[in-house]
Amino acid sequence: MSKLHIGNGTIYLTGFINVDLPSSHCFLAHERPDLVEEYRTDADNYYGRHRRDINDFRKGPEQKQTVCDRYGSFHFMPVHDNSVDQILSRQVIEHLSVAELRDSLREAQRVLIPGGIFRFSVPDFLESMKQYAASKDPFYIRHFEGPKKDDHGFHTCYSRNDLVKIMQESGFEYVRDDSNPHVYPALSLIFRTTKLS
């Protein structure tokens, strides 16, 4: 069985198949072992060697070279049916509309084994709103608008209740909250597929 890391960007996780969209700045691991080495980390130390603070995010999105093992997305996961025991994705689902998320969850159901785990995080919009109201710091507005760097730059403002409802309607059960590896408010959740073998 395998683990998928969807939308990996500059986070190359050991023990996972890292999957990202094809682009002019995204390379396959066998083409750029230097980038693999630069971005390599593990799930317990998610941001590894390039931990960022809020001031780094204030600069806006950067266009960096990235590396993955396979090209794909939430709409096409490049693995066989029932071959994955875990999907992990950080700060990607908010770039999907509700309809796109539902389609993506069908694809996740296709690749996950019965009882397979789906871990993800999205910006916590409610907490961001509270922190903006208290501080008036425009950094928190970014969570609502998205980074706006390309077609994938918008954000859908999912609440915990929205996500639990959509996941349950798509055949997943809530397991527990996950630790938040981000320097800003985020919902980090763990679900399990309820499909039978």
Residue 152 lies in a domain: no
Residue 140 lies in a domain: no
| Tokens matching residue 38 | 């630069």
Domain that holds residue 119: 2-123+157-193
In this predicted structure, what is the pLDDT of residue 129? 86
Residue 132 lies in a domain: no
Query: In this structure, are residues 142 and 184 in contact, taking their beta carbons and an 8 Å threshold?
Result: no
Residue 143 lies in a domain: no
Region 5-32: mean pLDDT is: 96
At a CB cut-off of 8 Å and minimum separation 6, what does 166 contact? Answer: 98, 101, 102, 105
Q: How many domains does the structure of the chain reveal?
A: 1
The pLDDT tens digits of the residues spanning 121-160 come to: 999 988 888 988 998 888 777 666 665 555 555 778 899 9
Lowest mean pLDDT among 41-50, 85-94, 115-124: 41-50
Residue 170 lies in a domain: yes
The pLDDT tens digits of the residues spanning 23-65 come to: 999 999 999 999 999 999 999 888 877 766 777 666 666 778 9
Residue 27 lies in a domain: yes
Give me the CATH number covering residue 47. Answer: 3.40.50.150
In this predicted structure, what is the pLDDT of residue 196? 82
Whole-number average pLDDT of the chain: 89
**pTM of the full structure:** 0.90
In this predicted structure, what is the pLDDT of residue 63? 76
- Residue 1 confidence class, pLDDT cut points 50, 70, 90: confident
Residue 131 lies in a domain: no
Return the exposure string of 87-104: e unless at least 16 CB atoms fall within 10 Å of the residue's CB, then b: bbbbbbbbbbeeeebeeb
Residue 137 lies in a domain: no
In this predicted structure, what is the pLDDT of residue 112? 98
The pLDDT of residue 77 is above 80? yes
Exposed/middle/buried for 169, CB within 10 Å: 0-12, 13-18, 19+?
Answer: exposed
Q: For residue 25, what is the DSSP state?
A: T
In this predicted structure, what is the pLDDT of residue 170? 97
Which position has the higher pLDDT, 102 or 46? 102
The pLDDT of residue 164 is above 80? yes
Percent of the chain with pLDDT over 90: 65
